[in-house]
């Protein structure tokens, strides 16, 4: 009798175990969201409510109904599909954000629950909210034609070649003309695009320009300056110049810890060169040794100095594993005086340290 009971328990466990394992392996999200994070960009306070939509699909055989949507704060409101959705049918959440409730970057959490067990999905609404200033004229002190800007130069920051960088630039319309998006025109190189965000910007109102910088198209590395022209074809003399600066970098995906010794590795034997006191009438020469300590070929993509007074020469741009070479640095300090610092940037295919810096310091007499 005891043997029969033990045998029965064994077969019951054996019968149930594979089902539990298969259930874990084949577990599928009950809702498939098109995206779970939306960035609405830069929003001016006076633009009022900003709305966007999250879209989802029911993957289950059972019908799905949204039971509740939890919002992080009162700055967001929601409208959602209240109908029962069969398998394969889609639903939407319309989220509206009030920009008067936030200043600067924001990320708002939205939690969706439904009638199916396990549905508690998190969504995020992100962007930048810019409040209306107390003194508009003083807040946009840089005048370019009839437009006021906060800063003289648009700094795009770090731009990687895996995706274009987008930046929104505020301006204040100090003129008497209505700025129509349809009449907006720009003259830019092919790696920069500019557009007016709002359909209309009335006199004494703020507006936004969206600037898109594509480093892959530019196909270069390092620090760059650009000048672009924008204007409105229906307003005579409206053309203005904008100065852009950007630092361009090559994107490398994260390297697994197990592969760190396999990839190219650029080693620089001296990253700081202190020349101490030097004469403005004497050219100074130094060398630095570059070594590839990795197990793959190292490619020197570019070497860039921050001054025309610095001449940099490299014998080659390819280093095999274990190979070294001398980098020649020649500084001509003529016309300079006082404490001086020259930066040399080395761009390579070392995925862990793709940009390395050599600093040359001196006091010029």
Q: What is the pLDDT of residue 101?
A: 82
pTM for this prediction: 0.78
In the chain, what are the domains?
31-130 (2.60.40.10), 136-249 (2.60.40.10), 257-364 (2.60.40.10)
Contact in structure between 68 and 48 (CB atoms under 8 Å): no
* Those residues with Cβ within 8 angstroms of residue 298's Cβ, 6 or more apart along the chain or in another chain: 264, 265, 266, 292, 318, 319, 320, 321, 348, 349, 350
Q: What is the pLDDT of residue 28?
A: 55
Query: Residue range 326-342: average pLDDT?
Result: 93
Q: Identify the three-state secondary structure at position 82.
A: coil
Q: What is the pLDDT of residue 27?
A: 53
pLDDT at residue 12 is higher than 70: no
Token pair for 2: 């005891």
Q: What percent of the chain has pLDDT over 90?
A: 70
Q: What is the largest CA-CA distance in the chain?
A: 107
Q: Identify the three-state secondary structure at position 274.
A: strand
pLDDT tier at 31 (50, 70, 90 boundaries)?
A: confident
Q: What is the pLDDT of residue 16?
A: 46
Q: What percent of the chain has pLDDT over 70?
A: 92
pLDDT tier at 319 (50, 70, 90 boundaries)?
A: very high
pLDDT tens digits along 165-215: 999 999 999 999 999 999 999 999 999 999 999 999 999 999 999 999 999
pLDDT at residue 113 is higher than 60: yes
Give the C-alpha separation, 123 to 111, whole Å: 6
Query: Residue range 333-354: average pLDDT?
Result: 94
Query: Residue range 32-45: average pLDDT?
Result: 90
pLDDT tens digits along 127-161: 989 888 888 888 999 999 999 999 999 999 999 99
Q: What is the pLDDT of residue 164?
A: 97
Q: What is the pLDDT of residue 116?
A: 80
pLDDT tens digits along 233-255: 999 999 999 999 999 999 999 99
Q: What is the pLDDT of residue 82?
A: 85
pLDDT at residue 8 is higher than 70: no
pLDDT tier at 19 (50, 70, 90 boundaries)?
A: very low
Query: Residue range 46-55: average pLDDT?
Result: 90
pLDDT at residue 335 is higher than 90: no
Give the C-alpha separation, 71 to 111, whole Å: 7
Parallel, antiparallel or unpaired: strands 147-149 and 66-71: unpaired
Give the C-alpha separation, 271 to 344, whole Å: 9
For the residues of 294-347, what is the DSSP string, one character each? SSS-EEEEEEEES-TTEEEEES-SEE-TT-EEEEEEEE--TT--EEEEEEEEEE
Task: Identify which of 5-9, 62-66, 102-106, 358-362 has the greatest average pLDDT.
Answer: 358-362
Lowest-confidence region among 5-14, 217-226, 280-289, 294-303: 5-14
Structure letter (DSSP) for residue 281: T
Q: Which residue has the higher pLDDT, 242 or 18?
A: 242
pLDDT tier at 48 (50, 70, 90 boundaries)?
A: confident
Q: What is the pLDDT of residue 46?
A: 84
Give the C-alpha separation, 183 to 234, whole Å: 6
Contact in structure between 294 and 264 (CB atoms under 8 Å): yes
Token pair for 77: 């409101």
């Amino acid at each position: 009798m005891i043997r029969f009971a033990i045998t029965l328990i064994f077969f019951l466990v054996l019968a149930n175990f594979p089902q539990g394992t298969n259930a874990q392996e084949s577990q599928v999200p009950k809702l498939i969201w098109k995206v779970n994070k939306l960035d609405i960009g830069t929003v001016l306070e006076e633009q009022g409510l900003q709305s966007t939509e999250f879209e989802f699909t029911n993957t289950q055989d059972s019908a799905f109904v949204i039971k509740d949507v939890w919002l992080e704060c009162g700055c967001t409101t929601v409208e959602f599909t209240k109908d029962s959705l069969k398998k394969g049918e889609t639903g939407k959440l319309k989220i509206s954000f009030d920009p008067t409730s936030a200043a600067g970057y924001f990320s708002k959490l939205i939690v969706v629950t439904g009638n199916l067990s396990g549905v508690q999905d998190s969504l995020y609404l992100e962007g930048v909210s810019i409040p209306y200033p107390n003194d508009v004229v003083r807040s946009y002190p840089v005048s370019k034609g009839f437009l006021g800007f906060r800063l003289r130069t648009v700094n795009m920051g770090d731009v990687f070649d895996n995706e274009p960088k987008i930046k929104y630039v505020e301006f204040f319309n100090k003129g008497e003309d209505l700025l129509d998006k349809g009449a907006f025109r720009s003259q830019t190189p092919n790696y920069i695009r500019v557009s007016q965000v709002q359909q209309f910007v009335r006199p004494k109102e703020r507006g936004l320009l969206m600037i898109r910088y594509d480093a892959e198209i530019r196909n270069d590395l390092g620090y760059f300056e650009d000048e672009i022209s924008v204007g409105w074809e229906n307003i005579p003399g409206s053309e203005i110049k904008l100065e852009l600066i950007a630092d361009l970098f090559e994107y490398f995906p994260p390297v697994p810890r197990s592969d760190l010794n396999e990839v190219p590795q650029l080693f620089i034997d001296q990253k700081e060169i202190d020349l101490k006191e030097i004469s403005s009438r004497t050219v100074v020469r130094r060398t630095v040794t570059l070594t590839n300590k990795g197990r793959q070929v190292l490619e020197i993509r570019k070497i860039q100095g921050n001054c025309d007074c610095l001449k940099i020469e490299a014998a080659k741009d390819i280093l095999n594993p274990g190979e070294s070479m001398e980098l020649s640095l020649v500084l001509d300090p003529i016309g300079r005086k006082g404490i001086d610092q020259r930066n040399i940037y080395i761009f390579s295919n070392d995925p862990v340290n793709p940009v390395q810096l050599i600093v040359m310091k001196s006091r010029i007499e």
